[in-house]
Structure 1
Amino acid sequence: MATLDLADLLILKDVYRTRSITRSVENIGLSQPSISIRLNQMRKHFADPLFVRTSQGMMPTPRLESLLPRIEQALALLSPEGVQDSFEPQHSSRVFRLALAHVSQLALLPELVALLDRQAPGLRIECLDLGPATGKQLETGDVDLAIGYATELHSGFYQQRLLTEHYACVARSDHPRISHKLSMKQFLSEAFVSLDAPATVHARLDNVLEEIGIKRRVKVRVPSLLGMEKMITSTELLAILPSRVCRMLALDGSVKVLALPFTLPSYDVNQYWHERYHQEPGHVWL
């Protein structure tokens, strides 16, 4: 017998469990003569009796006892589930790399870190900006998960909606011309600071405004939210930002949140991951 197959390993395991060839017939799906023939072939293959008839049934030889752990491993490997590594977050010191939109870094990351501190205190997080390179980074495993509104992550990626967001406007609390309501006339006459973040929802904001026939007057464009609050509180510029960010900027009272005088479509904030890692236990948990 040159090689063994899955049926041979199942025979050895079940005869060991039942201590009987007869009782193994139903479990294995082979006739008793077929099992006996294959068992004899395996005895020649291993140069060992493997089982010996006793008053307690078919008892394994020491040789078979030594083989059983490897038989179990082979059966696990050949099963549809294969051998899966487990992931225990409470004991893990793994580093997860996240690509986050600037808004997500500000509004979602602190909550995520607080959650991880409770459920997986040994985990570490490394953050990168969500951008044009994120798709390639997810594909190669340099990034585990992306969070935000990504315009370029389609084929080969899974996505799941985390929340739905909408836009609002912010101005400094003591703005000389705007009180607690923003009119269309004021919107069109005031100047804005704009957040430019490629491959995110903010990159298409001007196009969305143009589609509904509105053009804002942008005086300053910045690449991140860093310094956005200071830009608003120290000038008369307005800004259109996601509502969660607007509320955060308004917490200390120096900025006020204003409803836009027109309707902009809401958008979904998603998490994205590559199909290569869809079954990996750590990714599944995250």
Structure 2
Amino acid sequence: MKQPTLLAMDFAALRTLRLLYENRSFTETAEVLGVNQSAVSYTIEKLRRAFSDPLFFRQGGRVVPTERCGIIVTSAMRMLDEIETLATPVSFDPGAAEQTVTIACNYYERQIILPGVVKALRERAPGIRITALNSTTQGIQLLKMSDADLLMGPLQADGHEFYSRTLLSERYVCVMDRDNPLADQPLALEQYVSAPHATVTYGGTWRSRYLLQLDTLGQKLNTVLEVPSPAGLEKVIAGTDLIATVPGRVAETYSDAVRIVQSPCPAPFEVFLVWTTRTHKSAMHDWLRKLILECVAGQPEPEPAHTVSADG
């Protein structure tokens, strides 16, 4: 069999190598590429001969890359990103653009940030289409695998291939029925943790920062109801003695049936916009990132949560 040379390798082969390195699975890599597993194995075998290195080996049922494989993938990623940048038009006309952008985000960003962005796009760049992916805790991985172009959320990535900007600063508040006795008094930590709670679990994929803060205080909520999302939560707690803890801007989207009260465990956090070197120099993506920042900058700060003085 003729020995393949590096010059004979195409960018599709290098992308296969990168995906296998990130997924550590021939099956998952084949699914991402939309090919069968034997096609992935054939490509990796050609790369092994070209680089004179096994690249991957199996250890305890896992696919493990060699040290040299890591070096090759790092260089290949830079090369693929640069080629993609070269293929992107230098100038960008929003009114004439016809492109699809994939944004990884969750309920908060779809409720608070995305509506304003979509409205602005319909006015300025109606040909740009948005696909929103549920990122859960996998947003960084979605960016790495090029399954998403942008990530909006409370996750900030480390590494030379990532860029980020702060979109919003947030903190948690309590919401409860307007007739709840706790709605008209300062909410002490002891009252807060002992009150019956409807707790948002985000499907078990994410722990809110206020829960982590309670862990450090050695406290645990009296959870009597778990829900996967803050959506419609005000309807659940209305007319009950339940308390829920949600981000301030989410609480403001709820109806007047509930009252927003200052939390003794606000656990401030930031929401970021994250992208990679793949789109960093793209004129279209640069324009879109600036548009998102502009839309967020136009948002008012959330109203202070209700509180009362200790003497009423």
Scaled by the length of structure 2, the TM-score of the pair is 0.58
* SS of equivalent residue, structure 2 residue 252: helix
CA distance in 2, matches of 1:234, 1:122: 45
Q: Structure 2 unaligned runs (5+)?
A: 1-84, 289-312
Q: Is the 8 A contact 2:177 2:259 kept in 1?
A: yes
The one-letter amino acid paired with 1:172 is D
1:121: which partner in 2? 126
Separation in 2, partners of 1:134, 1:172: 34
* d(CA) in 2 for partners of 1:106, 1:243: 12
Alignment of 1:137 onto 2:130: no
Offset of 1:83 from its aligned partner? 7.5
**Structure 2 letter corresponding to 1:132:** T
- Which residue matches 2:261? 258
Q: 1:154 aligns with which of 152, 155, 158?
A: 158
The within-5 A match list for 1:23-172 is 85=89, 86-150=91-155, 153-155=157-159, 156-172=161-177
Q: CA deviation at 1:114?
A: 1.5
Give the stretch that moved more between structures: 182-191 or 216-225: 182-191
The question of 1:183 aligning with 2:183 is answered no
SS at match of 1:226: coil
Secondary structure (helix, strand or coil) at the match of 2:121 reads: helix
Quick one: distance in 1 between partners of 2:228 and 2:182?
A: 27
In structure 2, what is the Cα distance between the partners aligned to 1:83 and 1:189?
Answer: 59
Give the aligned CA root-mean-square deviation in angstroms.
2.4
Whether the 8 Å CA contact 1:172–1:255 is kept in 2: the answer is yes
CA distance in 2, matches of 1:265, 1:139: 29
Paired positions, count: 201
Alpha-carbon distance change, 263 to 189 in structure 1, aligned in 2, over 3 angstroms: closer
CA contact (8 A) 1:190 1:217 kept: yes
Would you say the 8 A contact 1:150–1:199 is kept in 2? no
CA contact (8 A) 1:130 1:199 kept: no
CA deviation digits over 1:79-130, x for unaligned, max 9? Answer: xx96851322221131211111211111111111122122212222111112
| Cα separation, 1, equivalents of 2:145 and 2:209 | 27
Q: CA deviation at 1:234?
A: 4.7
The amino acid across from 1:171 in the alignment is M
Q: Provide closer, same or farther for how the CA distance between residues 227 and 82 of structure 1 changes in structure 2, counting only shifts above 3 A.
A: closer
Which residue is 2:276 aligned to?
A: 274
Return 5+ residue gaps in structure 1 as ranges: 1-80
Structure 1 counterpart of 2:138, one-letter code? A
Identity %: 28
| Runs of 4+ displaced beyond 4 Å | 81-84
Shift, 1:189, TM fit: 2.4
TM-score by length of 1: 0.63
Matched, 1:215 2:220: yes
C-alpha deviation, 1:181, in angstroms: 4.1
- CA-to-aligned-CA distance 1:238-269 (integer Å, 9 cap, x gap): 111111111111xx311110001x35331111
Structure 1 residue 199 displacement after superposition: 6.0
Specify the code of the residue in structure 2 equivalent to 1:120: A
Which residue pairs with 2:15 in the alignment? none
CA offsets, 1:25-44, max 9 Å, x none?
xxxxxxxxxxxxxxxxxxxx
